[in-house]
Copies of this chain bind each other. A is one copy, B any other.
Amino acid sequence: MEFSSKLLENAVNEVSQLPGIGKRTALRLVLHLLRQPNEQTDALSQALQMMRNNIKFCKSCNNISDLEVCEICSNPNRDIGLICVVEDVRDVMAIENTSSFRGLYHVLGGKISPMDGIGPHDLNIKLLVDKVKEGKVKELIFALSSTMEGDTTNFYIYKQIQDYDVDISTIARGVSVGDELEYADEITLGRSIVNRVPFEASLKL
């Protein structure tokens, strides 16, 4: 791509560093900003810099927060004996939206993935193991993606805490609510039969 302006070229190059955004999309976004008042670009730039430089991670669960300890961890109404292990803040938001979980979270910050150069020591696993060793945790729920990386991470953590007195569970895998059975993949469908639920219990949900 040949640009008529260095300023334009720099802006497009920086925007196209973002994942899933190529040069053409970057150019479209930058030209959009050019058509808007200067204030919009200023607000965007400042919001990104403020966020990047000032954001904190909760000391207890590693979730993104504006405080030292996040609102969930400091909420006295939540069950501190129940911890849900998730990959990142999006998973916390998704589970909070369901309003069906009243315990605390533990945000790992990723999954073990040798292909991407992410090992156990790049994740926030030690803090979780320490929590379990302290003996305050009664149940741990693994809620990572059902992929090779997710399963590896689950197993790595399991090996470190299996000798402690803690129940370990993983979220149920099965056919999505509202989905046609014929479109479910065979592994999911198989698991949903093995892990079937008493009908009367399912009526209460």
Report which A residues bind B (CB closer than 8 A): 1-8, 10-11, 13-15, 17-21, 25, 27-34, 38, 40-56, 63-66, 70-72, 88-90, 92-93, 96-97
Q: Once the chains bind, are A2 and B47 in contact (CB under 8 Å)?
A: no
Interface of A is mostly: helix
Q: Once the chains bind, are B7 and A50 in contact (CB under 8 Å)?
A: yes
| Docked pose: A14 CA to B56 CA in angstroms | 20
| Docked pose: A31 CA to B20 CA in angstroms | 13
Q: Once the chains bind, are B47 and A10 in contact (CB under 8 Å)?
A: yes
Q: Once the chains bind, are A51 and B89 in contact (CB under 8 Å)?
A: no
Distance in angstroms from A61 CB to nearest chain B CB is 10
Interchain residue pairs with CB less than 8 A apart (22):
A2-B97, A4-B63, A4-B71, A4-B92, A5-B56, A7-B54, A7-B66, A10-B50, A10-B51, A14-B47, A14-B48, A15-B48, A17-B40, A19-B28, A27-B90, A28-B90, A31-B90, A33-B51, A34-B64, A38-B52, A41-B49, A41-B51
Q: Once the chains bind, are B64 and A4 in contact (CB under 8 Å)?
A: yes
Q: How many copies does the complex hold?
A: 2
| Docked pose: A70 CA to B44 CA in angstroms | 29
Residues of B within 8 A of A41 (CB): 48-49, 51-53
Residues of B within 8 A of A44 (CB): 14-15, 17, 45, 48
Residues of B within 8 A of A21 (CB): 29
